[in-house]
Amino acid sequence: MHTLIYFLICRAIGPTLLVFLVSGLFLVVRRLYFHPLSSFPGPRLASVTSLYKTYYDVIKGGEMLAQIHRLHSIHGSVIRIGPNELHFNDHHAYSEIYSAGSHLTKDPSFYNCFGASGSAFGAIDPCVSKVRRAFMNSFFSRRAVIKLEDVIQQKIDLLVSKLETASNVPTNMFLAFRSATLDIITAYMFGHCLDALEHPSFSAPLLLNIQAAIPILWVIKSFPWVVPILVILPRWFGRHLHVQFRALIFIRKFLIDWLNRTAQEAKIHFDPADFTICHRLFDPLAKTSYIFPSMQSKIDEALSLLQAGSDTVANTCTVGTFYVLNDKVVCTRLMDELRAQWPVKTVPVDLSFLQNLPYLTAVIKESLRLSHGFVTPLPRVVGPSGARIAGFDIPPNTIVGMSVTSVHLNAALFPNPTQFNPERWLQPSYQALSRYLVPFSAGPRMCLGMSIAWAELYLFFGHLFRKLNMQIVDTDITDFCTFKDYFVPIHVGRQLHILVVEDI
């Protein structure tokens, strides 16, 4: 009897298994030898399966970008990193992929992993993105920056005060900068901030959960069914999940609670003069001009703004502060310029004053170059007519991308690219290279908050280096040499700690 059952099972499974193996073999042969991208160099395994990227992103942990750079050193300026994906290393390719005239669309398989498909950042269709960005534009205009300046200044003043009264205890600036930027973005989003700067050791639960959730990004990209399951899980079950999943649930709950609070405020006191970004999402008048967002799209937009607004500027401040303090010549010149132009540090100065300081501007540009912004190659899909990128004819429907690190660390553009050298931005020849400073991406889909980010950077660097005499503690250059790619760069070394040694 058992023999008969075994025979019947084998007879049923055998043909299915054979079909599966033959289909798999056919797919491998096609992708290796008959695919439109078969002529482009790259690892054979990457040409066959997207699991190649999953291995470096998930198993190795944020190592795909480092592997891409290794592959470029072997194969040249364009490599095949997936069955239907190319990565470029030629700086000319960057504008050809991301500029306004490229007509390439976002790759949905990538952007959907952020759980923000309803946001301006996550919108795939350019027309939808244009509508969503128009919906938000007034909050990121030059006028909006002027309005936000007082909020930024208040948080920087509080940060300076906290650092001055640290009682000779080293301060973790990785957390301090992120606490400040988190307070700024939550105040701008909701009209009331998180008060992360008031938490002991700058360890606000939301901040710690944002940092804990970052490594899960590539898990969600590789296994997109994870997020829908997390959303429907009962709260009691969340206690049994891995810390990264618990962090994701915490962030989502925080946003829902604060959005509901904003919705109630909008009903009670509906004054356009007091509008914040999230009040705008609940504006009934928006129905007359724009697509009125669903609750899910509100969550998506808030998540996108929270992630971008709390990390990018903070990372630039962290990296820049380290490099300035690590180089006595650079530090002295920056502080000399600030003292000369701002002799009495207790006298308030505004953003426009700081924007006119050339060496401060050069320091910020160099900090942006070496902190990079978003380092993951942002994938674009070539249209049905194909494209020509960096001299190569690219077939229709190909996914193409290029990391900003391939631009910022290009020795042809920036000699000694890993060296922090603000002087390079003061040379007349380098002014033309400002178009290759792309931490906010480029083209019509570039970062909405770029003007606000620049304002924060001027105020952070200007006030900290004019009002405080800082020195590095328990951190050196090796801590900033290597980073993991989790969309944003996560340095693998020790976090920056500083000590305020005396008043200046």
Is 447 annotated in a binding site? The answer is yes
What are the two backbone dihedrals, phi and then psi, of residue 438, each rounded to the nearest 5 degrees?
-125, 45
Amino acid 273 reads A
DSSP characters over 155-210:
HHHHHHHHHHTSTT--EEHHHHHHHHHHHHHHHHHHSS---GGGSGGG--HHHHHH
Polymer length of the chain: 504
Amino acid 214 reads I
Distance CA 182, CA 116 (A): 19
Q: Which two tokens stand for residue 369?
A: 């170059």
Distance CA 57, CA 216 (A): 10
Which residue has tokens 């990296």?
319
Distance CA 435, CA 228 (A): 40
- 393 three-state secondary structure: strand
In this structure, the strands spanning 497-502 and 469-473 are antiparallel
Is the C-alpha dihedral spanning 18, 20, 26, 28 positive or negative? negative
Residues of each annotated binding site: 447
Residues of each annotated binding site for heme: 447
